[in-house]
Structure 1
Amino acid sequence: MNDDVRLTAWVRGRVQGVGFRWFTRANALEIGGLTGFALNLDDGRVQVVAEGAREKCHGLLDWLRSGDTPGRVDGVTEIWSTPRGGYDTFAIR
Protein backbone atom coordinates (compact mmCIF):
# COMPACT_ATOMS: atom_id res chain seq x y z
CA MET A 1 0.00 0.00 0.00
CA ASN A 2 1.49 3.30 -1.13
CA ASP A 3 0.75 5.93 1.50
CA ASP A 4 2.25 8.80 -0.53
CA VAL A 5 -0.11 11.56 -1.64
CA ARG A 6 -0.10 14.93 -3.36
CA LEU A 7 -1.60 17.85 -1.47
CA THR A 8 -2.43 21.01 -3.42
CA ALA A 9 -3.55 23.86 -1.17
CA TRP A 10 -4.56 27.42 -1.97
CA VAL A 11 -4.06 29.79 0.95
CA ARG A 12 -5.94 33.09 0.96
CA GLY A 13 -5.55 36.11 3.21
CA ARG A 14 -2.56 38.41 3.72
CA VAL A 15 -0.02 35.81 2.67
CA GLN A 16 2.20 37.63 0.18
CA GLY A 17 5.06 39.91 1.17
CA VAL A 18 5.18 38.50 4.73
CA GLY A 19 7.64 35.59 4.35
CA PHE A 20 4.81 33.06 3.97
CA ARG A 21 6.50 30.96 1.28
CA TRP A 22 9.81 30.91 3.19
CA PHE A 23 8.13 29.74 6.41
CA THR A 24 6.06 27.18 4.48
CA ARG A 25 9.27 25.75 3.01
CA ALA A 26 10.98 25.77 6.42
CA ASN A 27 8.00 23.96 7.98
CA ALA A 28 7.91 21.38 5.18
CA LEU A 29 11.64 20.72 5.64
CA GLU A 30 11.20 20.46 9.42
CA ILE A 31 8.38 17.93 8.98
CA GLY A 32 10.73 16.04 6.64
CA GLY A 33 10.08 13.76 3.69
CA LEU A 34 8.05 16.33 1.74
CA THR A 35 8.82 17.65 -1.73
CA GLY A 36 7.01 20.32 -3.72
CA PHE A 37 6.81 24.10 -3.70
CA ALA A 38 5.12 27.28 -2.51
CA LEU A 39 4.18 29.83 -5.18
CA ASN A 40 2.68 33.34 -5.08
CA LEU A 41 -0.35 33.61 -7.38
CA ASP A 42 -1.40 36.77 -9.22
CA ASP A 43 -4.68 36.94 -7.26
CA GLY A 44 -2.89 37.28 -3.90
CA ARG A 45 -3.13 33.65 -2.81
CA VAL A 46 -0.23 31.25 -2.22
CA GLN A 47 -0.37 27.82 -3.83
CA VAL A 48 1.31 25.04 -1.87
CA VAL A 49 2.02 21.67 -3.49
CA ALA A 50 3.43 18.96 -1.23
CA GLU A 51 4.11 15.31 -1.97
CA GLY A 52 5.00 12.68 0.58
CA ALA A 53 3.46 10.51 3.26
CA ARG A 54 -0.20 11.31 3.95
CA GLU A 55 0.38 12.07 7.64
CA LYS A 56 3.21 14.48 6.81
CA CYS A 57 1.06 16.31 4.24
CA HIS A 58 -1.70 16.54 6.87
CA GLY A 59 0.88 18.02 9.26
CA LEU A 60 1.73 20.75 6.75
CA LEU A 61 -1.95 21.43 6.09
CA ASP A 62 -2.61 21.68 9.84
CA TRP A 63 0.20 24.24 10.11
CA LEU A 64 -1.22 26.27 7.20
CA ARG A 65 -4.51 26.49 9.12
CA SER A 66 -2.96 26.93 12.59
CA GLY A 67 -2.61 30.69 12.97
CA ASP A 68 1.14 30.21 13.53
CA THR A 69 1.85 31.33 9.98
CA PRO A 70 3.19 34.76 9.04
CA GLY A 71 0.61 37.23 7.78
CA ARG A 72 -3.03 36.29 8.11
CA VAL A 73 -4.69 33.18 6.71
CA ASP A 74 -8.39 33.67 5.96
CA GLY A 75 -8.87 30.20 4.54
CA VAL A 76 -7.26 27.18 2.92
CA THR A 77 -8.80 25.11 0.14
CA GLU A 78 -7.15 21.77 -0.61
CA ILE A 79 -7.38 18.85 -2.97
CA TRP A 80 -5.74 15.45 -2.57
CA SER A 81 -4.43 13.39 -5.47
CA THR A 82 -1.81 10.86 -6.54
CA PRO A 83 1.82 12.07 -6.41
CA ARG A 84 3.30 13.04 -9.78
CA GLY A 85 6.92 13.19 -8.66
CA GLY A 86 9.61 15.30 -10.27
CA TYR A 87 10.55 17.36 -7.19
CA ASP A 88 13.96 17.01 -5.55
CA THR A 89 13.19 19.15 -2.51
CA PHE A 90 10.65 21.67 -1.25
CA ALA A 91 11.22 24.93 -3.13
CA ILE A 92 10.05 28.52 -3.20
CA ARG A 93 8.85 29.54 -6.65
Structure 2
Amino acid sequence: MSETRYFRVTGTVQGVGFRAATQAEARRLDLAGWVANRPDGDVEVTAAGPAEALDTLARWLGHGPAGAVVREIAETGVADTQTVLQQPFEIR
Protein backbone atom coordinates (compact mmCIF):
# COMPACT_ATOMS: atom_id res chain seq x y z
CA MET A 1 0.00 0.00 0.00
CA SER A 2 1.30 3.43 -0.93
CA GLU A 3 1.27 6.57 1.13
CA THR A 4 2.51 10.11 0.66
CA ARG A 5 4.67 12.15 3.01
CA TYR A 6 5.81 15.76 3.04
CA PHE A 7 9.24 16.59 4.47
CA ARG A 8 10.66 20.03 5.24
CA VAL A 9 14.42 19.94 5.72
CA THR A 10 16.22 22.82 7.43
CA GLY A 11 19.91 23.60 7.74
CA THR A 12 22.56 24.08 5.08
CA VAL A 13 20.56 22.36 2.36
CA GLN A 14 20.69 24.74 -0.60
CA GLY A 15 23.73 25.13 -2.82
CA VAL A 16 25.10 21.70 -1.86
CA GLY A 17 23.40 19.46 -4.45
CA PHE A 18 20.63 18.45 -2.06
CA ARG A 19 17.85 18.42 -4.66
CA ALA A 20 19.75 16.35 -7.22
CA ALA A 21 20.93 13.89 -4.57
CA THR A 22 17.40 13.61 -3.16
CA GLN A 23 16.04 12.92 -6.63
CA ALA A 24 18.65 10.18 -7.16
CA GLU A 25 17.87 8.57 -3.78
CA ALA A 26 14.09 8.75 -4.34
CA ARG A 27 14.41 7.21 -7.80
CA ARG A 28 16.66 4.48 -6.39
CA LEU A 29 13.85 3.75 -3.92
CA ASP A 30 11.29 3.84 -6.76
CA LEU A 31 9.35 6.73 -5.19
CA ALA A 32 7.23 9.31 -6.99
CA GLY A 33 7.04 13.00 -6.08
CA TRP A 34 9.22 16.08 -6.10
CA VAL A 35 11.87 18.12 -4.29
CA ALA A 36 12.17 21.91 -4.30
CA ASN A 37 14.07 24.76 -2.69
CA ARG A 38 11.98 27.09 -0.53
CA PRO A 39 12.56 30.85 -0.49
CA ASP A 40 13.46 30.66 3.22
CA GLY A 41 16.48 28.39 2.55
CA ASP A 42 14.80 25.10 3.45
CA VAL A 43 14.15 22.21 1.06
CA GLU A 44 10.75 20.54 0.77
CA VAL A 45 10.06 17.03 -0.42
CA THR A 46 6.77 15.34 -1.26
CA ALA A 47 7.25 11.62 -1.86
CA ALA A 48 4.84 8.73 -2.46
CA GLY A 49 5.39 5.00 -2.34
CA PRO A 50 5.61 2.10 0.11
CA ALA A 51 6.04 3.04 3.78
CA GLU A 52 9.36 1.17 4.04
CA ALA A 53 10.84 3.15 1.14
CA LEU A 54 9.57 6.41 2.65
CA ASP A 55 11.17 5.49 5.97
CA THR A 56 14.46 4.89 4.15
CA LEU A 57 14.18 8.27 2.41
CA ALA A 58 13.44 9.97 5.75
CA ARG A 59 16.62 8.48 7.25
CA TRP A 60 18.62 9.61 4.21
CA LEU A 61 17.18 13.14 4.44
CA GLY A 62 18.54 13.25 8.00
CA HIS A 63 22.05 13.66 6.62
CA GLY A 64 21.62 14.33 2.89
CA PRO A 65 24.56 14.52 0.50
CA ALA A 66 28.13 15.48 1.38
CA GLY A 67 28.27 19.19 2.11
CA ALA A 68 24.78 19.36 3.59
CA VAL A 69 24.24 20.09 7.26
CA VAL A 70 20.74 19.00 8.21
CA ARG A 71 19.48 20.69 11.35
CA GLU A 72 15.89 19.44 11.42
CA ILE A 73 13.31 17.47 9.45
CA ALA A 74 9.57 18.03 9.84
CA GLU A 75 7.40 15.24 8.41
CA THR A 76 3.66 15.10 7.80
CA GLY A 77 1.34 12.80 5.92
CA VAL A 78 -0.40 13.92 2.73
CA ALA A 79 -3.89 12.75 1.80
CA ASP A 80 -3.62 12.95 -2.01
CA THR A 81 -1.40 9.96 -2.79
CA GLN A 82 -2.84 9.21 -6.24
CA THR A 83 -1.90 12.61 -7.73
CA VAL A 84 1.70 12.30 -6.49
CA LEU A 85 2.03 8.71 -7.72
CA GLN A 86 1.26 9.82 -11.27
CA GLN A 87 4.65 11.49 -11.78
CA PRO A 88 8.26 10.33 -11.65
CA PHE A 89 10.32 11.94 -8.90
CA GLU A 90 11.36 15.38 -10.16
CA ILE A 91 13.20 18.53 -9.18
CA ARG A 92 11.05 21.64 -9.12
The answer to whether TM tops 0.5 is: yes
Report the TM-score when normalising by structure 2.
Answer: 0.89
* CA distance in 1: counterparts of 2:78 and 2:15, whole angstroms: 29
Unaligned runs of 5+ in 1: none
Higher helix share: 2
State whether residues 22 and 64 of structure 2, in contact with CA within 8 Å, keep that contact through their aligned partners in structure 1: no
State whether residues 31 and 56 of structure 1, in contact with CA within 8 Å, keep that contact through their aligned partners in structure 2: yes
Q: Decide which of 27, 30, 34 is 2:28's aligned counterpart.
A: 30
The structural deviation recorded for 1:29 is 0.8
What RMSD, in angstroms, separates the aligned Cα atoms of the two structures?
Answer: 1.3
Aligned sequence identity (%): 34
Q: Displaced runs of 4+ in structure 1, greater than 3 A?
A: none
Unaligned runs of 5+ in 2: none
Report the TM-score when normalising by structure 1.
Answer: 0.88
